[in-house]
Chain A
Amino acid sequence: MKLFSLSSLKRSTGYSIRGGVHPETRKHLAAGCAIEKLPMPKLLRVPLQQHIGAEAAPLVQRGDHVLKGQIIGKARGAVSANVHAPTSGEVIAVGPFTAPHPSGLPVATVTIRPDGEEKWGKRLPRLRPEDASADEIAKQVLEAGIVGMGGATFPSAVKLGLGKRYKLHTLIINAAECEPYLTCDDRLIQERPEDVADGIAIMAKALGTARVVIAIESNKPHAIEAMKRYIRQAGPGAEVMAVPTLYPMGSEKHLVQTVIGKETPARALTAELGVVVHNAATAQAVHKAVRYGEPLLSRILTVSGHGVERPANLEVLIGTPVSDILDHCGGLTGEPERLLLGGPMMGMPIQSLRVPVIKGTNGVLALTARETRRKESMPCIRCGKCVASCPCGLQPNELNLRIQSDDLDGAVDIGLMDCVSCGSCSFTCPSNIQLVQGFNYAKGRLAAKQSQKHQQEETKRLAEARTAREEAIAEAKRKAMAAHKAKQEAKKKAAAAKKAEAEAKAAAEAQADGAEAASQDAPQQPAATPTEAAE
């Protein structure tokens, strides 16, 4: 099998980036398939964590009836997203269910049994983007639960609010779609260019950028043409740029470099260069949210690979199980070698067909053994191909050596954190060394270490708080005891004083009596007499 398409690729426009690879695109499998709407599945499993950041808080219970578009999960924290019911029906479970994630671990999920009526609940209030302020648009996007639909799933409202903190001049619409097999953004732009263009205009307004660049890879001429036809709707400063067909062109930082010719500093945001990147599918979702008040309920994804009977581009509701999608496409041709959500380069392998698709799922791929070309790893021959292919300018071979010898800090020193996990190095390695897999491990390990450290600090704080509290309680007890004692003492003293007083009085009286008795003995006598008489 050919590793590179060696045909000389015409560099269209844009500045060049370093590295990159040319995997066979294999987009022909699904590129010609018009978008179909998937029939309503029997069950929808909507995870409450479909985005980067904190999990949404569930707002429904088992047995509740929900309406289409009704909010079922409320965003928690600044980086989080609302989750909505994709259709009307009954909630039959709220609880852990296998996540669409390589680990197969559970995530809090709302399971809905659709009633088939598709009855809409209350929609969000519509906005006229011409009159709406940037904040209003961002708020609408926040309410609609829109996240980056290219796969990163970062809450879009946060990115639309960047105009306040940075001086922005360019909005780039990422429609590069550099992953092999995937054609959903291509089809979306071909079939619904006016929606996408309108969404772009709304986002440009929210960000306050004068220039808008819609970047499409040069291997999608139909999409480029369609977008050019509707470019005026996307705003006066909008242009379509045919960027070179090169993996990973769709990586945010590399796309920015291609379009404006500046490299984003290490671990900085592209906003620092005055640029914000949004996905084309996100633009369509923003259009729907602002114009029609519809939250993000469905998305378009590509079903492809030789392991699928009939490749397709489908519009599916969020929460549709992968098995329903594959059934609609004629099922699997056999046991697939790999089953992926997303593209073949950066997608996530899944272990179960029961997992649902979520907001960031742009593809369902079933790859046969021939397509995956999984081979045994051999020793490094120091050919340097990984170094040449790395778009971030790192040395994957050296990183790998350090990670293999558990020197994670050493790996960080030579730029592990600048790796975007694009997988170009693993793709190009003639010895099939699992390079990017090692980097993902190292990054995860470091994050786990970090969180463990944080946790340790927190438990230390808890222990100190407890000690302080116990001391305070002991102190309070001691004080109460002392106060009680003092009170008792005072009482006793008072009683003693009273007694003493009484005694003194009595003594004084007795003395007086004695004195009196001495002088006036006689009148005492008659006084006693009546008592005696009474008795």
Chain B
Amino acid sequence: MTPLLLAIATMSVLGLGFGLILGFAAKKFYVETPPVIDELEEILPGTNCGQCGFPGCRGAAEAVAASAAPVTLCPPGGKEVAEEMAEVMGIDLASGGGLGEMEDAEPIVAFIFEDHCTGCTKCYKKCPTDAIVGAAKQIHTVINDACIGCDACVDVCPTEAIIMRNKPKTLRNWHWPKPGDEPQELELEGAA
């Protein structure tokens, strides 16, 4: 019986000792996550679509915080997100932060050509926000309000039935153009 007790006692003491050392080290050598990363992650869409090339929104936030990526990295977030992130990072976007190209970036959403849809269910399994509805061998469709335009469904469609297009304007999201610049005039003719 004695060797058994001895083994248990040794292991317990060792475990306790290492545990204490680890605990102490965790406290002593704690590396604080810059709060800015959390702030940035809060701003990002949080859908982990991966279009920026970083592993999820957390990864993107870390990259932006480390200045390894521009604040304009998030295509679904668009200008709004870029502006907010620039504010957190203290970057002046007006002085060439790459915002110039984003200025015209309209929100985009996926659109499924129903003629081409075979109901394979591949796209809606891929959608990070469950914005595609459908069932096996039923035509799928996109809920515009839930779609973030992340592009994930386009690649998996075997019949190339999905495209990205500008989010359609509705009476709810329409507003008057800014006096002086009337670029919407042209669009209206296209829409009508």
Contact = CB atoms under 8 A, between A and B. Distances in A.
Contacts of A99: 171
B136 to A, nearest CB: 17
Q: What 9 pairs across the A-B complex have the smallest Cβ distances?
A: A444-B175, A434-B179, A460-B46, A463-B47, A462-B129, A103-B174, A441-B176, A437-B179, A440-B176
A101 interface: yes
B173 A448 contact: yes
A102 B176 contact: yes
B68 interface: no
Contacts of A104: 188, 191-192
Contact of B175 (A49, A447, A455): A447
Given A459-B45, A464-B46, A438 B178 contact: yes
A98 interface: yes
Residue among B47, B80, B179, B191 with max Cβ neighbours from chain A (10 Å): B179
A351 B187 CA distance: 14
B38 interface: no
Given A105-B171, A105-B191, A465-B130, A459 B178 contact: no
Contacts of B48: 463, 467
Given A104-B191, A441-B177, A449-B80, A466 B171 contact: no
Contacts of A403: 178
Contacts of A449: 80
A453 B191 CA distance: 25
A107 interface: yes
A456 interface: yes
Contacts of A458: 145-146
A105 B188 CA distance: 8
Interface of B: 45-48, 77, 80, 107, 128-131, 145-146, 148, 169-180, 188, 191-192
Contacts of A351: 188, 192
Given A459-B148, A462-B130, A466-B128, A451 B178 contact: no
Main secondary structure of the interface of B (DSSP, over half): loop
Given A98-B192, A104-B188, A448 B175 contact: yes
A49 B171 contact: yes
A338 to B, nearest CB: 15
Nearest to A444: B175
A13 interface: no
Given A458-B146, A459-B146, A460-B46, A107 B171 contact: yes
Interface residues of A, number: 39
A229 interface: no
A445 interface: yes
Nearest to A406: B178
Contacts of A447: 175
Contact of B46 (A434, A443, A451, A463): A463
Given A459-B148, A460-B45, A441 B191 contact: no
A420 to B, nearest CB: 16
A333 interface: no
B108 to A, nearest CB: 13
Contact of A463 (B129, B173, B176, B180): B129
A462 to B, nearest CB: 4
Contacts of B148: 459
A50 to B, nearest CB: 12
Interface string A369-387: 0000000010000000000
Residue among A444, A451, A459, A467 with max Cβ neighbours from chain B (10 Å): A459
A98 B173 CA distance: 16
A103 B171 contact: yes
21 contacts: A49-B171, A101-B171, A101-B174, A102-B176, A103-B174, A103-B188, A105-B169, A105-B188, A107-B171, A351-B188, A352-B192, A437-B176, A444-B176, A447-B175, A448-B173, A451-B172, A459-B46, A459-B148, A460-B45, A462-B129, A462-B131
A5 interface: no
Contacts of B46: 459-460, 463-464
Nearest to B81: A456
A453 B107 CA distance: 13
